[in-house]
Amino acid sequence: DFAPWMILVALNALMLAGLVLWSAQGANRQLVEREAEARMQAELDGLTGLGNRHALRSAAEIMPRDMPYALMILDFDGFKPVNDRWGHAAGDHLLKSTANRLRSLSRSCDKPLRLGGDEFVLLIGGKDAHARADELEEIAAQTLCVPVNHDGHIIAVGASLGFAKAEAGESIEKALNRADDAMYVMKDAGRGRQFEVG
């Protein structure tokens, strides 16, 4: 027969084991949360809050393989003179404003990103991705190139846009290269060059 003290020892041991297990689960949960937060920070552009190049790769990995998509790439025409004339705060203000406008063009199935410098990308998803890309070719420049006011100075820059319609399964790198090529064709042709700083 178990003596009462032996029962108490067994109960205490069970309670201690439970506490150790609970503590280990809590520590593991905190570790998972910290890793998820670090991953999220690594995929975030610090200035605009948009996804960055790493986020584009991650989005491409989880995209349905059987669904076409499209890419829109934007690069400002004459961004450097903004920084040269008004300073980096003015340039940052323009980039943040552009990020907000890109968000306004995005749907829940799209992903707006800043790849670096003055280069932005919109990953266009959904079953109607190609049709949506056609729509954006008509309206994106007017939405994204609206002048901004910074400390009483009106800053207006043109932008060159490039589009690529990707078939299901096409790699994001290949589609991005095609969009980039299309954007440079526009830039070389002088379209979108409406740069002025007032």
Q: Which residues are catalytic?
A: 118
What would the DSSP string read from start to end of the chain?
---HHHHHHHHHHHHHHHHHHHHHHHHHHHHHHHHHHHHHHHTB-TTT-SB-HHHHHHHHHHS-TTS-EEEEEEEEES-HHHHHHH-HHHHHHHHHHHHHHHHHH--TT-EEEEEETTEEEEEE-STTHHHHHHHHHHHHHHHHT--EEETTEEEE-EEEEEEEEE-TT--HHHHHHHHHHHHHHHHHHTTT---EE-
